[in-house]
Amino acid sequence: MRTILQAENLTKVYRVGSVDVPALRGVSLDVEEGEYLAIMGPSGCGKSTMLHLLGGLLTPTTGSIHIDGEDLTAATDAKRTDIRRRKIGFVFQRFNLFPTLTAEGNLKLAESIHGGRDGKKGGDPERRREVLRLLQLEDKMHHKPLELSGGEQQRVALARAVVNRPALILADEPTGNLDTENSAIVLNMFQEMNYRFNQTIIMITHNPEAAAMCRRIIQMRDGQIVAPGPRVQI
Amino acid sequence: MESLVTANVRQRPVRALVSAAGVALGVCLVMLFTGLARGLSNDLERRSQNLKAEIVFTRDAGSTQLMSNAANLPVKYAEELLKIDGVAMAVPDIRYVSQGGKGFGFEQVEGVDWEQFAAMNGMSLVAGRGPQGLDEVVIDETKARNNKLSVGNELKLFGNQTYRVVGVYTPEAGPRVKMSLAAMQDALQAPNKCTWVYVKLKDPGRAVEMARKIDEALPGNKIQLTRDIITNIEKSIPYLGVFLRTLVGLSALVSGLVVMLAMYTTITERTREIGILKALGASRGFIVGEIVKEAVLISVIGVAAGFAVSFLAGYVIQRAYALPFEYSWLWGLTAALIGLLGGALGALYPAVRAANLDAVSALAYE
Ligand SMILES: Nc1ncnc2c1ncn2[C@@H]1O[C@H](COP(=O)(O)OP(=O)(O)O)[C@@H](O)[C@H]1O
Ligand SMILES: [Mg+2]
């Protein structure tokens, strides 16, 4: 099996004024292709910090990260952005869609950024159709985010993340802003992406039911992993 | 598909329009000022070129006298000039800058014997007759059209004196309003005086030689070649070029600053969206590109609006104040480039700032 993510001994210290705030205190983590991993832990224990490090939005104070064979920590800022463009899809608690663009416009923007210098500006229409069908968004394509429910917006955000076939999806409390019903729908969709596309997913969640749908659960406390759960084979 | 750029412009139409108006203002400044400068100097030049006298004989050696109000040359010099071999015609003339009327609030009036002047310059009347009485004038076709005057109408000169239009002539040459020399001498209370004498030569090719000859015969006066006076028109406004260049620079600055301000506010407003772009893996170049594209789109709208307003305003001003506007392709191109480059450069600083934002804090921005 292919290793998608290799993080070794990550630490992260934020500097606030003259005070050092340690957010991560030595975290190591391997994730294989097709894994669906939940990260749980109390607020402020460093979950988001770790996710941002894994996606190259932040650089660790020490430690190393390899994504799909590429060294993220040794890379320049531009190179990290490039790795993120090719390998990572983010899903946030706040959906983070472009409010001026329709659902389709949001997808196409992501596709055009992903196409980048490789010239595949038009994206892959077949892939887009399949993703939209699986996420049951076909009839919402021409709606703007404000015309969609929270659950629908998060499904568009998930579609935007998976449409470019990223090696890894990083989701930070994707159901944190949703009611129970919509949470269930969105979680089903995550699972669907994992099953159908063998999509590797790391998801931060407070929701035990959400975590229960994952194949592995990691517990964090005070910037450290306290309970690396066993891998579940399906 | 609607791009992020056009969607953003549509999202904030007022902001886009106000910025476009700033760019349009810059374009208007350049177009109207250069159009007016060109129009005025071409107009003056055309009217000067229709003067067929090769030599202008004046007493004053100090100025080119195009705007002079002095009538201090005795008319009898015309007779002396006619005695010189090679002189075909010598026509005494008074030019006077009169208050009132349209345009800048003053206009030139000429007092000259109509029959001689018309014969010298190959001019003819298209309506009415030449000026005879002390309250009669003829005007050229442009004046008739711009001021909606025709034979029989009245106009005011020298403040509030009423004159009657008795004829309309073509082509335009010198001041657009002409009366008889006697009428002008009467109005200025300068009997037997003139401003200068137009000298028409039998052989136009010998102008330089004849000028020297006249200087020998009647020393102590100023003898100018008409063609030198025409080139002096441009030289007499030596700072026009500097003025226009300054104007162009200021216009670029206005366009740039307006667009910069607009883009600057828009970037603060969209901090979180820039964070999203970064999370999606957009490079710095992509982010700068999107913002500059938006600025260029706004600038294009502004440039188009600026041209439309310039042409409209030029037409209205020409109609209302008889000021001639002549636009040139070169200045048009300059104005367009200023609008576009000003806008693009103005956007560059906010764009680079946006590209430098920290992704995580941009995503957390409320
Ligand atoms: N930008 C920052 N500057 C300073 N401290 C930060 C910053 N971001 C997070 N922290 C601190 O780091 C710790 C971990 O934060 P975070 O990763 O957001 O935790 P979680 O996502 O698990 O709630 C917290 O103590 C938080 O206050
Ligand atoms: Mg968090």
Instruction: Copy the structure tokens of residue B248.
Output: 């162009």
Q: Any idea where the domains of chain B sit in the sequence?
A: 4-42+239-364, 61-219
What's residue B341's pLDDT?
87
What's residue A121's pLDDT?
62
Are B214 and B147 in contact by the 8 Å Cβ rule? The answer is: no
What's residue A119's pLDDT?
54
Domain contains A198: yes
Q: Which alpha helices (DSSP H) does chain B contain, by range? A: 4-11, 13-49, 77-83, 114-121, 141-146, 181-188, 207-217, 226-235, 240-269, 271-279, 284-321, 329-355, 359-364
Q: Looking at the CA of residue A43, tell me the nearest atom of ligand 1.
A: 23
A224 Cα–ligand 1 center, Å: 13
Interchain contact B356–A (C-beta under 8 A): no
Residues in chain B: 366
Name the residue in chain B with its Cα closest to that of A90. B279
Domain contains A65: no
Whether the per-residue pLDDT at B148 is higher than 90: the answer is no
Return d(Cα B20, Cα B308) in angstroms, integer. Answer: 13
Which CATH number fits the domain that encloses residue A110? 3.40.50.300
Interchain contact A14–B (C-beta under 8 A): no
Whether the per-residue pLDDT at A75 is higher than 80: the answer is yes
Least-confidence region, from A13-27, A70-84, A108-122, B178-192: A108-122
| Backbone angle region of A181, left / alpha / beta, with phi > 0 → left and psi within -120 to 50 → alpha | alpha
Q: Looking at the CA of residue A47, tell me the nearest atom of ligand 1.
A: 22
CA distance B284 to chain A (A): 8
Q: Which amino acid is at B360?
A: V
Q: Which residues line ligand 1 (CB under 6 A)?
A: A 14, 16, 21, 23, 43-49
Band of residue B1 on the pLDDT scale cut at 50, 70, 90: very low
The model's pTM: 0.77
Interchain contact B276–A (C-beta under 8 A): yes
What's residue B39's pLDDT?
86
Are A106 and A156 in contact by the 8 Å Cβ rule? The answer is: yes
Domain contains A1: no
Mean pLDDT of B211-222: 90
Whether the per-residue pLDDT at B265 is higher than 70: the answer is yes
**pLDDT tens digit sequence for B223-243:** 888 877 766 555 656 677 788
Whether the per-residue pLDDT at A68 is higher than 90: the answer is yes
**pLDDT tens digit sequence for B28-61:** 988 998 888 888 888 877 888 888 889 999 876 5
Whether the per-residue pLDDT at B63 is higher than 60: the answer is no
Return d(Cα A11, Cα A23) in angstroms, integer. Answer: 7
Question: Which is higher by pLDDT, B97 or A192?
Answer: A192
* Long-range contacts of residues B331-337, Cβ cutoff 8 Å, at least 24 apart: B331/B30, B331/B31, B331/B34, B331/B35, B331/B38, B332/B31, B332/B307, B334/B30, B334/B248, B335/B26, B335/B27, B335/B30, B335/B31, B335/B251, B335/B303, B335/B306, B335/B307, B335/B310, B336/B27, B336/B303, B336/B307
Q: Which amino acid is at B175?
A: P
Percent of chain B at pLDDT exceeding 70: 92
Phi, psi torsion values for A38, nearest 5 degrees: -105, 140
Mean pLDDT of B326-342: 88
**pLDDT tens digit sequence for A137-175:** 999 999 999 999 999 999 999 999 999 999 999 999 999
**Closest residue by CA, ligand 1 atom 1:** A14
Band of residue B99 on the pLDDT scale cut at 50, 70, 90: low
* Domain of A213, in residue numbers: 35-58+74-228
CA distance A109 to chain B (A): 8
Q: Do A110 and B280 touch (CB under 8 A)?
A: yes
Interchain contact B266–A (C-beta under 8 A): no
What's residue B234's pLDDT?
55
Whether the per-residue pLDDT at B102 is higher than 60: the answer is no
Q: Do B360 and A90 touch (CB under 8 A)?
A: no
Cα separations in angstroms, B291 against A111, B272, B282, B286, B345: 19, 14, 13, 9, 11
Return d(Cα B158, Cα B259) in angstroms, integer. Answer: 49
CA distance A233 to chain B (A): 31
Whether the per-residue pLDDT at B62 is higher than 70: the answer is no
Q: What's the mean pLDDT when you consider all of chain A?
A: 92
Whether the per-residue pLDDT at A3 is higher than 90: the answer is yes
3-state secondary structure of B94: strand
Domain count, chain A: 1
What's residue B30's pLDDT?
87
What's residue B88's pLDDT?
93
Q: Which amino acid is at B273?
A: E
Specify which residues A38 forms β-bridges with: A203, A217
Least-confidence region, from A35-49, B25-39, B55-69: B55-69
3-state secondary structure of B104: coil
What's residue A9's pLDDT?
96
**pLDDT tens digit sequence for A91-147:** 999 999 999 999 999 999 999 999 865 555 677 888 998 999 989 999 999 999 999
Domain contains A213: yes
Interchain contact B251–A (C-beta under 8 A): no
ipTM of the complex: 0.94
Q: Do B1 and A104 touch (CB under 8 A)?
A: yes
Domain contains A27: no
Name the residue in chain B with its Cα closest to that of A83. B281
Q: To 5 degrees, how large is the angle CA B21–CA B264–CA A85?
A: 120
What's residue A222's pLDDT?
95
Q: Which amino acid is at B312?
A: L
Least-confidence region, from A52-61, B2-11, B21-30, B77-86: B2-11
